[in-house]
C-alpha cells in the first residue's frame, strides 16, 4: 500500500490552481450568488452570500474558491448550529414570543442555572468534561454524535466513521481523554419492511446490517468496549435512518483545559489526507450530476488506534498545548478553530502528507479524510513529539504556526490559497429570524380507548406481541457482534441474567486499567432515553420522558444520579418548515425543564437537521423529530451495582411510581391499533424523590434486582426480569399505586407512566427496605418472585388475568431480531 502513496515533496506545485479566483464574485447579483452557491453545494443562504460579498468588497478582491469553501464549511449548520443560535419567532397555539437563541435559552440555560461545580467544561470543547472519582485527580469526557447523512448513502462506512469521529472528539477533549466506552443507537425502518423504495434508498434491514457491521469492524479494532446503545424501528426512518455514536473517556483533571500560544507549531498527526470526504468535489458542473459518494470518508481503524496510542503518550509527556480533531470541513475547520482559540494561524498545505498526489490545494484544505488531528506544539517539544508518534508508527507533519494577526492564512508552496479575517468568520455570520409554529395535535386530546373487561386472554396476547415487537425484543444478536468487555472494565454488561442474555438497563464501567488503583472501586454508568412515538404527539413530553428514562436506567444499576451529566442529540427535518421548527423548539423547552427538574445539566450535544428524503410521491419526507438523551453518572462503588434479573424465589416485588392511564404513543396502543390518550407526563420533583429513596436502599444492599418500566410497561418489565433470572413472578394488579381510578388490566399492565421501576427486595430484609424508602412517593409491594417458572397476574376482581410460562415469553422475545438478522 505504501508504494502508491506519494511523499509531500513529490506533489507537483499547483500554484496556479491554488490562486484560482471566483472571478466576478464581487459583481454578482443576489440571484447570481444564489445560483453559484447552489452549483457549488455551499448551502449558503442569500443573506449569508451577501455578507460574504460585502466582506470581500472590503478586502478589495474576489475570493479564492478555497476561501468561499472555508466560509461555507465554517458557517454550515453542522459547524455553527445556526438554527439553535438564530432568533426564532415561536408561536405556541397562536401565542407568539421571540426566542433570541434556542440554545442559550434552553439546553445551555439549564446548565448555567444549575451551576454544578463538577462540570469542568461544557459545550465549548469537543466533548463535555465532568469530574470523576474520589481523589479529584480524574475527569470524564462525554460526547454523542450523529452520522445520519453518510449512513443513508453508505451505512457500513458511515457508521464506522461516525464512531471514529466521536472517539476523536473524546481524544480531543481538553488535552485528550482515553476512550473507555463507546455506544451506538440506530433508528431504522422496520426490519421486515420489504416495501418499494425510491431509487438509491437501501432496504432497512440491509442498512441496519451494514451499519452494525461497520460499527463492529471499526469499534472492535479500536479496542473500546461497545457496551451501550439501542435500536428503534419505525417506518419514519425507512428513507432516512439515524445513526448515533457516543463515547466516554477518562483524562487526568489537569488535562481538562487547553491553550495554544503564538509561535506554537501547528502539527497534523494521524492518517494522510486524500480525496475522500470532499464535499465540494463538484466544481465542474458535469460532476454535479454524479452521486454524492465523493463526500464520503473512508475509515481505517488501525490508523485511529495508532493515533490514539501516540496522542495519549504525548499528552502525558506534556508535549503539546492544544489538540482538536479533523471532522467536518477537515483542516479548514480544525485549523480555523485552533486559530480562533489562539489569535491567528498560518499554514502551508504543501506540507500535509497525502494519500495520492493529485489533490488540489483547496482539496487538501477541505478533505475530510479520517483519523487526523491537529496539535499546537511548542517548538521546543517538537522533536520529542515526533519521536513519540514515530514509535507508534503514526505520521506527523508541521503545517505552520500560530500567529497573532487575527487572520487565517493558507498557502501552498508559496502561493496563497486563502487569507481570511477570523473576526469575519466568527462574527460575520448573519442570523436571520426564523418562524416556528406549534399547535397541540388532536391526538394529545383524544379520548381514552375503552377495553372490554374480562379480556384475560387478551392481556397475554398483547404481552406476547409486545415482547416480539422490534422495539422491545432481544438485542443479543447485535450486541454480541461488538466487543463489549475489552479493557476489562465492563462490570455491568449489556446482557445480564443466568444465561447472560437479559436486557440490561445501563452498563457500568470500572475504568481500573485507565486510572490505576488510586480510585478503588469508582466507576460510572451510562444510559439512553429515546422515544420518537411520544414526540409525534408532543415533543415537549417526549423530551421529559427521554430524560426520565435515561435517569431511571441509571438508577436501576445503582448510579449516583445527583451527579448526572446529560448529552442531547436532536435529529429533525428541515427547520425551514415552521412546523418542524416548532416541534424542535417544543422539544428543546422540554429539555430545559427536564434538566432543571432533575438537576442534571447538559454538558455537550449536537443537532442534525435536514433529515429528509424524497418519498415515493416526490415530496420530501422528514424523519419523526427524534431526541436521543445520553446520561452518565458516577457509580461510587461498582461492587454495589444491581442487575435486572430476579435472583431467588420468595422475594417481595416493589413497584416505584404512580401508574396512570398513559397509553398515548405507547406500544400497547400501537399493537392494538388504537389512538391512546394520556401522554406520560413526568413530574421531576416526585420522580427524583423516589429515585433517591431507591438508591439509598441499594446502597444498603436492600435491592436484589431492578428494572425500568418503559415500552410495554409493567408487563414487559416483569416478564424480562423473570425470564432473565429464571424464576416466576406473581403480580397483583390491585396493589398498584394508581392515579385516578383504573378498571382495566390492560391499562395497569401496559401503561407507560414515567418514573417507574420494579424492584426485587430480599424477603428477610423487607422491613429494613420499607424503612429506608419511606420518602418515596409511591412504592408498593405488588407481588412476589416464585419458584414456579410462570408469570402470573391477578386482576382487580381477584381472578387470574394471565399465567404464562416464562420460557414461552422468552422464546418469543428472542425470536424477532435473531431471525431477521440471521
Partner 1 sequence: MKAPRILILRAPGVNCDVETAAALKFVGGAPEPATMADVRAGRVRVLDYAMAVFPGGFSYGDDLGAGKVLAVQIRGYLNDLRHFVRQKRPVLGVCNGFQALVKAGLLPFGSGDPSAGFAANDSGRFEARWVHLRLNTQSPSLFFRGLPEMIELPVAHGEGKLVLKSPRQLEDLKKNHSIAMQYVSDDGKLAGYPANPNGSVFNIAALSNPEGNCLGLMPHPERFTDIHHHPNWTRQTFFKHCAGLEIFRNAVDYCRS
DSSP string, 684-739: HHHHHHHHHHHHHHHHTT--SEEEE--TTHHHHHHHHHHHHHT-EEEEEGGGS-BS
300 near partner 1, judged by CB under 8 A: yes
Strand (E) or helix (H) holding 419: strand 415-421
Give the residue, chosen from 103, 188, 510, 540, that forms a contact with partner 1 under the rule CB under 8 A: 510
Binding mask 674-713 for partner 1 (x = CB under 8 A): -------------------------------x--------
486 near partner 1, judged by CB under 8 A: yes
275 near partner 1, judged by CB under 8 A: no
Do residues 406 and 422 touch, judged by C-beta distance below 8 A? yes
Residues of this chain, 715-754, that bind partner 1 according to CB under 8 A: 725
Interface region with partner 1, contact rule CB under 8 A, candidates 283-291, 323-331, 635-643, 733-741: 635-643
Which is nearer to partner 1, 222 or 757 (by Cβ)?
A: 222
Give the residue, chosen from 487, 583, 660, 753, that forms a contact with partner 1 under the rule CB under 8 A: 487
The two most distant CA atoms of the chain are separated, in Å, by 87
Whole-number Å distance between alpha carbons of 468 and 769: 34
Strand (E) or helix (H) holding 458: helix 456-468
305 near partner 1, judged by CB under 8 A: yes
780 near partner 1, judged by CB under 8 A: no
Which is nearer to partner 1, 204 or 219 (by Cβ)?
A: 219
Interface region with partner 1, contact rule CB under 8 A, candidates 409-417, 434-442, 641-649, 685-693: 641-649
Which is nearer to partner 1, 306 or 346 (by Cβ)?
A: 306
Looking at the DSSP assignment, which residues form a beta bridge with residue 400? 266, 347
Give the residue, chosen from 491, 551, 561, 693, that forms a contact with partner 1 under the rule CB under 8 A: 491
Give the residue, chosen from 6, 54, 298, 392, that forms a contact with partner 1 under the rule CB under 8 A: 392
Q: Which of 212, 251, 218 is nearest to 230 (CA)?
A: 212
Interface region with partner 1, contact rule CB under 8 A, candidates 103-111, 345-353, 478-486, 757-765: 478-486
Kindly report each contact of residues 358-361 with a partner whose C-beta sits within 8 Å and lies 24 or more positions away, as own/partner.
358/275, 359/11, 359/273, 359/274, 359/275, 360/14, 360/17, 360/18, 361/14, 361/17, 361/18, 361/66, 361/410, 361/412, 361/415, 361/417
Whole-number Å distance between alpha carbons of 540 and 563: 24
765 near partner 1, judged by CB under 8 A: no
CB of 84 to partner 1, least distance (A): 37
Do residues 180 and 133 touch, judged by C-beta distance below 8 A? no
CB of 191 to partner 1, least distance (A): 16
Give the residue, chosen from 638, 693, 738, 776, that forms a contact with partner 1 under the rule CB under 8 A: 638
814 near partner 1, judged by CB under 8 A: no
Residues of this chain, 568-627, that bind partner 1 according to CB under 8 A: none
Which is nearer to partner 1, 446 or 648 (by Cβ)?
A: 648
Q: β-pairing, 565-571 with 602-608?
A: parallel
Kindly report each contact of residues 673-676 with a partner whose C-beta sits within 8 Å and lies 24 or more positions away, as own/partner.
674/449, 675/443, 675/446, 675/449, 676/446, 676/448, 676/449
Whole-number Å distance between alpha carbons of 506 and 816: 22
Whole-number Å distance between alpha carbons of 140 and 36: 45
Residues 6+ apart with CB under 8 A from 543: 586, 587, 588, 589, 590, 591, 593, 594, 627, 629
Whole-number Å distance between alpha carbons of 469 and 472: 5
Interface region with partner 1, contact rule CB under 8 A, candidates 184-192, 489-497, 692-700, 768-776: 489-497
Does the active-site annotation cover 78?
yes
CB of 4 to partner 1, least distance (A): 15
Whole-number Å distance between alpha carbons of 586 and 709: 25
Residues in the chain: 822
298 near partner 1, judged by CB under 8 A: no
Interface region with partner 1, contact rule CB under 8 A, candidates 3-11, 371-379, 390-398, 754-762: 390-398
Give the residue, chosen from 275, 355, 372, 481, that forms a contact with partner 1 under the rule CB under 8 A: 481
H-helix segments, 231-329: 301-316
Residues 6+ apart with CB under 8 A from 689: 775, 776, 777
Whole-number Å distance between alpha carbons of 536 and 655: 28
- R_g (Cα) of the chain, nearest Å: 27
64 near partner 1, judged by CB under 8 A: no
In the set 78, 279, 300, 528, the catalytic residue is 78
Which is nearer to partner 1, 306 or 606 (by Cβ)?
A: 306
Residues of this chain, 642-661, that bind partner 1 according to CB under 8 A: 642-643, 645, 647
Does the active-site annotation cover 147?
yes
156 near partner 1, judged by CB under 8 A: no
Do residues 772 and 693 touch, judged by C-beta distance below 8 A? yes
Strand (E) or helix (H) holding 138: strand 138-146
313 near partner 1, judged by CB under 8 A: no
Q: β-pairing, 138-146 with 242-252?
A: antiparallel
CB of 274 to partner 1, least distance (A): 17
CB atoms inside a 10 Å sphere around CB 423? 12
CB of 178 to partner 1, least distance (A): 9
CB of 184 to partner 1, least distance (A): 15
Q: Which of 453, 483, 430 is nearest to 795 (CA)?
A: 453
Tell me the site size for partner 1, rule CB under 8 A: 46
CB of 215 to partner 1, least distance (A): 11
Interface region with partner 1, contact rule CB under 8 A, candidates 112-120, 187-195, 256-264, 386-394: 386-394
Which is nearer to partner 1, 394 or 621 (by Cβ)?
A: 394
Residues of this chain, 197-236, that bind partner 1 according to CB under 8 A: 216-217, 220-223
Binding site for partner 1 (CB under 8 A): 216-217, 220-223, 300-302, 305-306, 391-393, 479-489, 491-493, 495-498, 500, 510, 512-514, 638-639, 641-643, 645, 647, 705, 725
Which residues belong to the active site?
A: 78, 147
Amino acid at each position: 500500500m505504501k508504494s502508491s502513496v506519494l511523499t509531500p515533496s513529490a506533489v507537483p506545485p499547483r500554484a496556479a490552481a491554488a490562486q484560482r479566483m471566483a472571478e466576478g464574485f464581487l459583481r454578482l447579483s443576489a440571484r447570481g450568488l444564489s445560483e453559484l452557491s447552489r452549483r457549488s453545494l455551499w448551502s449558503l443562504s442569500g443573506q449569508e452570500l451577501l455578507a460574504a460579498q460585502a466582506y470581500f468588497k472590503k478586502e478589495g478582491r474576489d475570493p479564492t474558491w478555497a476561501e468561499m469553501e472555508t466560509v461555507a464549511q465554517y458557517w454550515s449548520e453542522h459547524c455553527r448550529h445556526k438554527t439553535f443560535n438564530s432568533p426564532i419567532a415561536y408561536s405556541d397555539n397562536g401565542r407568539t414570543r421571540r426566542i433570541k437563541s434556542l440554545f442559550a435559552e434552553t439546553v445551555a440555560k439549564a446548565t448555567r442555572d444549575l451551576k454544578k461545580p463538577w462540570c469542568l467544561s461544557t459545550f465549548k470543547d469537543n466533548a463535555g468534561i465532568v469530574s470523576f472519582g474520589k481523589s479529584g485527580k480524574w475527569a470524564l469526557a462525554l460526547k454523542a454524535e450523529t452520522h445520519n447523512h453518510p449512513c443513508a448513502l453508505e451505512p457500513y462506512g458511515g457508521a464506522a466513521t461516525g464512531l471514529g469521529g466521536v472517539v476523536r472528539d473524546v481524544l480531543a477533549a481538553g488535552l485528550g481523554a482515553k476512550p473507555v466506552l463507546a455506544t451506538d443507537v440506530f433508528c431504522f425502518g422496520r426490519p421486515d419492511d420489504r416495501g418499494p423504495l425510491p431509487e438509491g434508498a437501501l432496504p432497512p434491514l440491509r442498512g441496519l446490517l451494514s451499519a452494525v457491521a461497520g460499527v463492529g469492524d471499526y469499534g472492535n479494532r479500536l479496542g473500546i468496549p461497545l457496551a451501550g446503545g439501542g435500536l428503534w424501528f419505525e417506518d419514519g426512518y425507512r428513507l432516512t435512518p439515524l445513526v448515533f455514536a457516543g463515547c466516554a473517556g477518562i483524562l487526568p483533571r489537569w488535562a481538562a483545559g487547553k491553550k495554544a500560544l503564538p509561535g506554537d507549531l501547528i502539527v497534523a498527526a494521524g492518517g494522510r489526507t486524500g480525496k475522500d470526504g470532499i464535499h465540494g468535489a463538484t466544481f465542474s458542473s458535469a460532476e454535479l450530476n454524479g452521486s454524492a459518494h465523493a463526500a464520503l470518508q473512508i475509515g481505517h481503524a488501525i490508523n485511529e488506534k495508532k493515533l490514539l496510542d501516540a496522542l495519549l503518550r504525548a499528552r502525558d509527556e506534556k508535549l503539546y498545548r492544544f489538540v482538536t480533531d479533523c471532522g467536518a470541513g477537515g483542516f479548514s475547520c480544525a485549523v480555523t478553530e485552533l486559530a480562533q482559540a489562539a489569535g491567528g494561524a498560518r499554514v502551508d498545505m504543501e506540507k500535509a502528507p497525502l494519500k495520492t498526489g493529485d489533490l488540489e490545494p483547496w482539496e487538501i484544505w477541505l478533505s475530510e479524510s479520517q483519523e487526523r488531528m491537529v496539535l499546537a506544539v511548542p517548538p521546543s517539544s517538537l522533536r520529542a513529539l515526533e519521536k513519540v508518534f514515530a514509535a507508534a508508527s503514526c505520521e506527523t507533519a508541521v503545517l505552520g504556526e500560530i500567529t497573532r494577526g487575527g487572520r487565517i492564512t493558507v498557502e501552498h508552496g508559496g502561493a496563497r490559497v486563502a487569507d481570511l479575517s477570523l473576526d469575519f468568520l466568527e462574527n460575520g455570520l448573519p442570523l436571520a429570524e426564523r418562524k416556528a409554529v406549534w399547535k397541540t395535535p388532536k391526538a394529545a386530546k383524544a379520548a381514552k380507548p375503552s377495553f372490554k373487561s374480562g379480556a384475560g386472554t387478551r392481556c397475554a396476547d398483547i404481552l406476547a406481541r409486545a415482547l416480539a415487537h422490534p422495539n422491545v425484543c432481544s438485542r443479543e444478536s447485535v450486541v454480541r457482534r461488538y466487543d463489549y468487555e475489552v479493557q476489562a472494565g465492563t462490570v455491568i454488561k449489556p446482557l445480564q441474567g443466568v444465561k447472560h442474555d437479559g436486557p440490561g438497563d445501563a452498563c457500568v464501567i470500572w475504568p481500573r486499567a485507565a486510572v490505576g488503583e488510586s480510585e478503588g472501586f469508582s466507576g460510572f454508568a451510562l444510559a439512553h432515553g429515546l422515544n420518537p412515538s411520544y414526540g409525534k404527539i408532543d415533543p415537549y413530553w417526549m423530551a421529559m420522558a427521554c430524560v426520565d428514562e435515561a435517569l431511571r436506567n441509571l438508577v436501576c444499576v445503582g448510579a449516583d444520579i445527583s451527579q448526572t451529566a446529560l448529552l442531547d442529540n436532536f435529529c429533525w427535518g428541515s427547520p425551514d418548515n415552521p412546523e418542524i421548527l416548532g416541534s424542535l423548539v417544543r422539544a428543546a423547552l422540554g429539555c430545559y425543564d427536564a434538566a432543571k427538574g432533575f438537576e442534571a445539566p447538559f454538558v455537550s450535544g449536537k443537532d442534525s437537521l435536514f433529515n429528509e428524503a424524497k418519498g415515493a410521491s416526490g415530496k420530501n419526507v422528514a424523519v419523526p423529530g427524534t431526541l436521543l438523551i445520553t446520561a452518565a453518572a458516577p457509580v461510587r462503588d461498582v461492587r454495589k451495582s444491581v442487575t435486572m434479573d430476579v435472583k431467588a424465589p420468595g422475594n417481595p416485588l416493589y413497584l416505584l411510581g404512580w401508574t396512570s392511564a398513559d397509553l398515548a404513543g405507547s406500544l400497547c396502543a400501537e399493537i392494538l391499533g388504537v389512538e391512546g390518550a394520556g401522554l406520560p407526563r413526568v413530574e421531576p420533583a416526585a420522580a427524583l424523590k423516589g429515585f433517591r429513596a431507591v438508591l439509598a436502599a441499594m446502597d444498603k444492599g436492600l435491592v436484589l434486582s431492578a428494572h425500568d418500566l418503559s415500552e410495554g410497561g409493567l408487563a414487559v418489565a416483569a416478564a424480562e426480569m423473570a425470564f432473565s433470572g429464571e424464576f416466576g413472578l406473581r403480580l397483583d394488579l390491585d396493589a398498584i399505586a394508581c392515579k385516578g381510578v383504573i378498571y382495566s388490566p390492560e391499562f395497569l399492565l401496559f401503561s407507560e407512566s414515567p418514573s417507574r421501576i420494579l424492584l426485587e427486595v430480599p424477603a428477610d430484609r423487607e422491613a429494613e427496605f420499607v424503612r429506608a424508602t419511606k420518602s418515596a412517593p409511591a412504592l408498593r409491594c405488588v407481588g412476589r418472585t416464585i419458584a414456579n417458572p410462570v408469570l402470573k397476574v391477578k386482576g382487580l376482581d381477584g381472578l387470574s388475568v394471565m399465567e404464562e410460562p416464562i420460557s414461552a415469553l422468552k422464546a418469543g422475545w428472542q425470536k424477532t431480531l435473531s431471525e431477521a438478522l440471521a
